[in-house]
Amino acid sequence: MISSSSRSVIHDVVEQFVREELSLENAQIAGAVWAMLDAGGKELRPRMTLLAAAAANPAAPPDPVLASYMELIHVATLIHDDVVDNADVRRGKISTNNVHGNRFSVLAGDYLFSWVFKKVTLGYDNPVPTILSSMLSEICNGEVRQLRAAGNLALTRNQYFEIIGKKTAELFASCAEVGAIVALQHTTAASGSVLREHPSVRALRDFGLAFGTAFQIRDDLLDVVASDAALGKPAGSDLRDRKVTLPLIIALEQGDERVRAAAQDLFDPAKAGDNRALIVELIAGLRTSGGIHGAKQVVEHFESEARDALRRLPPSPAASELEALTHTLSEYSS
pLDDT at 5 over 50: no
pTM across the whole model: 0.88
To the nearest whole number, what is the mean pLDDT of the chain?
86
In a domain, 240, yes or no: yes
Predicted pLDDT of residue 132: 96
DSSP-derived secondary structure for 165-188: IIIIIHHHHHHHHHHHHHHHHTT-
Residue-wise pLDDT for 198-223, tens only, equals 999 999 999 999 999 999 999 999 99
What residue numbers bound the domain in which 212 lies? 6-330
Q: How confident is the model at residue 295 (pLDDT cuts 50, 70, 90)?
A: very high
Residue-wise pLDDT for 21-63, tens only, equals 667 666 777 777 777 666 666 789 999 999 999 999 999 999 9
Cα gap 34→93, rounded to integer Å:
12
pLDDT at 308 over 90: yes
pLDDT at 334 over 90: no
Mean pLDDT for the stretch of residues 294-317: 97
Mean pLDDT for the stretch of residues 187-206: 89
Mean pLDDT for the stretch of residues 278-305: 95
Q: How confident is the model at residue 1 (pLDDT cuts 50, 70, 90)?
A: very low
Amino acid letter, 34: W
Mean pLDDT for the stretch of residues 246-253: 97
pLDDT at 155 over 70: yes
Predicted pLDDT of residue 28: 74
Number of domains in the chain: 1
Residue bearing the bigger pLDDT, 68 or 3: 68
Predicted pLDDT of residue 99: 61
In a domain, 110, yes or no: yes
Residue bearing the bigger pLDDT, 282 or 20: 282
- Choose the most confident range, by mean pLDDT, from 15-24, 33-42, 175-184: 175-184
In a domain, 1, yes or no: no
In a domain, 78, yes or no: yes
Q: How confident is the model at residue 332 (pLDDT cuts 50, 70, 90)?
A: low
CATH of the domain at 183: 1.10.600.10
Cα gap 88→21, rounded to integer Å:
29
Give ∠ CA 130-132-138 in degrees, rounded to 5.
Answer: 105
Residue-wise pLDDT for 95-125, tens only, equals 666 665 677 777 778 888 888 899 999 999 9
DSSP-derived secondary structure for 77-130: HHHHHHHHTT-SEETTEE-HHHHH-HHHHHHHHHHHHHHHHHHHHHH--TTHHH
Cα gap 175→51, rounded to integer Å:
10
Predicted pLDDT of residue 88: 60
Cα gap 309→203, rounded to integer Å:
5
Q: How confident is the model at residue 3 (pLDDT cuts 50, 70, 90)?
A: very low
In a domain, 283, yes or no: yes
Do 321 and 4 meet the contact criterion of CB atoms below 8 Å apart? no
